[in-house]
């Protein structure tokens, strides 16, 4: 903001100077702390990140423009030796921050630092990057929190990744945030970069500094099937837990939220389970993968987990079972047929829910019908009937009227026999009912809680 359009008071100027001094002190403190933490963490790689000598900064916009545009001729004329190639490219912009001491908003400088090699590697300027390396650019210099290899992997720029590795870049170097280049391969297009990193010695089970998240966690969370397969082939541990106790399977099931991504996450979970992942491994808040799949309205993913032995009745730290999570998700995922997930859980041993949970599924008649048919006596309607909007009631008047009439009344003998048989079979319902060959097909179907549009 121009000075002539912003009236600075003396107190604002003092606050601005104070903010700048505090920022410089904070930058120095963080740099020292990060360097020390990285050296301790990478005990197997004793070489610390290389940092250009302090004080050698370049703030010339013309130099910056040459780098960002990939102007090789200008770059050759500017960067001729080790000193110039390792300059710190710094930009300073001012932003408004709240000053509690002054009780007002003040302008504070915000510095961003990078290196010439980082800029070239992130934008895929291979010729520029080669020139800088041949003129002495430090391939592992961490400037502004990252080394060039981090940027080329994150971009992704496979050609620059190959070039940096050929010049001896450390594939296990941690950034200031504690991530190795392999952790930054987060898109399908980054697969070639991941392959190059692993071929040059990247440790597939290396965790981030604080959260201990591995590359397999990252790929699972992003739904990257090819990455997951690659890491598993290179010895990635599907049972490895993060600092919060999450496994890659937990990460995949928790991230499977959008219907359009369901197939990708299903394939990721399938690969992990085939590799030996535990379908019942509880992570953060004791959520199992099945809790996450049910909470995200993913019936196919839930079926996969149950087929591999997931427990449909286990509670999390709040006492919620996968069925409770499925009911909470009915409203949000009503277009993903949540009644299928509910019926699936009932077929694998989940019992009738507490009547107070009916209010979470009462706005989706198919889900409410499946839940009510799990009772041998329908509970009172007072717990849910008030939550049904009038227009929805009118649309499904016959169903809701039948549910209210059945509340508290004895069910038909046929239904009571169905409940008794399902209780006897318990978690074997899904496998045992189709094998009851002596029963007529319509009766076998009736045992599987089909939707009829009425409660009788």
In whole angstroms, what is the distance from residue 327 CA to residue 324 CA? 5
Any idea where the domains of the chain sit in the sequence?
A: 9-25+50-173, 204-277, 279-376+416-456
Beta bridge partners of 113: 90
| CATH of 9-25+50-173 among 3.40.120.10, 1.25.40.20, 3.30.470.10, 2.60.40.10 | 1.25.40.20
CA 89 to chain CA centroid, nearest Å: 32
In whole angstroms, what is the distance from residue 83 CA to residue 60 CA? 16
Looking at residue 29, its pLDDT comes to 62
**Residue partners of 377: CB distance under 8 A and separation at least 6:** 408, 409, 410, 411
pLDDT 10s digits, 308-367:
999 999 999 999 999 999 999 999 999 999 999 999 999 999 999 999 999 999 999 999
Domains 9-25+50-173 and 279-376+416-456 share a fold: yes
Average pLDDT over residues 44-61: 62
Looking at residue 17, its pLDDT comes to 65
Specify the pairing of strand 88-99 against strand 104-115: antiparallel
> Cα–Cα distances in Å, from 403 out to 47, 326, 374, 397?
71, 21, 13, 10
CB of 347 closer than 8 Å to CB of 302: no
Looking at residue 6, its pLDDT comes to 44
Looking at residue 96, its pLDDT comes to 77
Secondary structure of residue 164 in the 3-state scheme: helix
Looking at residue 20, its pLDDT comes to 67
**Residue found by looking up tokens 């450390």 in the block:** 170
pLDDT 10s digits, 399-443:
999 999 999 888 999 999 999 999 999 999 999 999 998 889 999
Q: Which pLDDT band, with edges at 50, 70 and 90, does 39 fall under? A: low
Domain 279-376+416-456 classified CATH 1.25.40.20? yes
pLDDT 10s digits, 127-156:
999 999 999 999 999 999 999 999 999 999
Looking at residue 11, its pLDDT comes to 58
CB of 120 closer than 8 Å to CB of 128: yes
- Is residue 179 predicted with pLDDT exceeding 80? yes
pLDDT 10s digits, 90-109:
987 777 778 787 777 877 77
CB of 178 closer than 8 Å to CB of 206: no
Looking at residue 169, its pLDDT comes to 97
Looking at residue 209, its pLDDT comes to 95
What does the DSSP 8-state code read for residue 259? Answer: G
Q: Which pLDDT band, with edges at 50, 70 and 90, does 5 fall under? A: very low
Which homologous superfamily is 204-277 in?
Ankyrin repeat-containing domain (1.25.40.20)
Q: Which pLDDT band, with edges at 50, 70 and 90, does 241 fall under? A: very high
Name the pTM for this structure. Answer: 0.83
């Amino acid at each position: 903001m121009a000075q002539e359009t912003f009236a600075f008071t003396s107190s604002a100027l003092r606050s601005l100077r104070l903010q700048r001094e505090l920022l410089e002190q904070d930058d120095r403190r963080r740099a020292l702390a990060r360097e020390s933490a990285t050296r301790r963490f990478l005990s197997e790689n004793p070489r610390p990140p290389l940092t250009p000598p302090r004080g050698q900064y370049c703030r010339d916009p013309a130099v910056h423009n040459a780098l960002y545009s990939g102007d090789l001729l200008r770059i050759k004329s500017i960067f001729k030796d080790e000193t110039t190639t390792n300059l710190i490219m710094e930009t300073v912009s001012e932003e408004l921050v709240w000053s509690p001491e002054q009780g007002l908003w003040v302008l504070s400088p915000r510095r961003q630092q990078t290196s010439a090699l980082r800029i070239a590697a992130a934008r895929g300027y291979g010729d520029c990057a080669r020139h800088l390396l041949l003129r002495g650019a430090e391939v592992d210099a961490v400037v502004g929190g990252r080394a060039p290899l981090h940027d080329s992997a994150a971009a992704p720029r496979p050609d620059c990744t190959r070039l940096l590795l050929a010049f001896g870049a450390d594939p296990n170097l941690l950034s200031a945030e504690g991530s190795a280049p392999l952790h930054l391969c987060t898109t399908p297009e980054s697969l070639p970069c991941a392959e190059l990193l692993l071929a040059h010695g990247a440790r597939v089970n290396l965790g981030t500094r604080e959260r201990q998240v591995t590359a397999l966690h990252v790929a699972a969370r992003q739904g990257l099937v090819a990455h997951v397969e690659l890491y598993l082939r290179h010895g990635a541990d599907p049972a490895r837990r993060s600092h919060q106790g999450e496994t890659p399977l937990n990460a995949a099931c928790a991230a499977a939220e959008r219907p359009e991504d369901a197939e990708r996450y299903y394939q990721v979970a399938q690969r992990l389970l085939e590799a030996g992942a535990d379908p019942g491994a509880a992570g953060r808040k004791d959520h199992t993968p099945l809790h996450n799949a049910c909470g995200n309205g993913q019936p196919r993913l839930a079926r996969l987990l149950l087929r591999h032995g997931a427990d449909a009745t286990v509670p999390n730290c709040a006492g919620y079972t996968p069925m409770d999570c499925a009911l909470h998700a009915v409203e949000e995922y009503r277009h993903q047929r949540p009644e299928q997930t509910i019926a699936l859980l009932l077929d694998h041993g989940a019992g009738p829910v507490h009547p107070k949970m009916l209010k979470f599924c009462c706005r989706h008649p198919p889900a409410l019908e499946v839940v009510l048919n799990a009772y041998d006596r329908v509970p009172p309607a007072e717990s849910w009937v008030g939550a049904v909007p009038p227009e929805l009631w009118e649309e499904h008047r016959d169903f809701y009227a039948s549910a209210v009439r059945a509340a508290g009344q004895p069910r038909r003998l046929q239904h009571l026999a169905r409940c008794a048989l399902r209780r006897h079979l318990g978690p074997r319902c899904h496998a045992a009912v189709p094998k009851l060959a002596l029963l007529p097909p319509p009766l076998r179907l009736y045992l599987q809680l089909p939707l009829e549009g009425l409660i009788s």
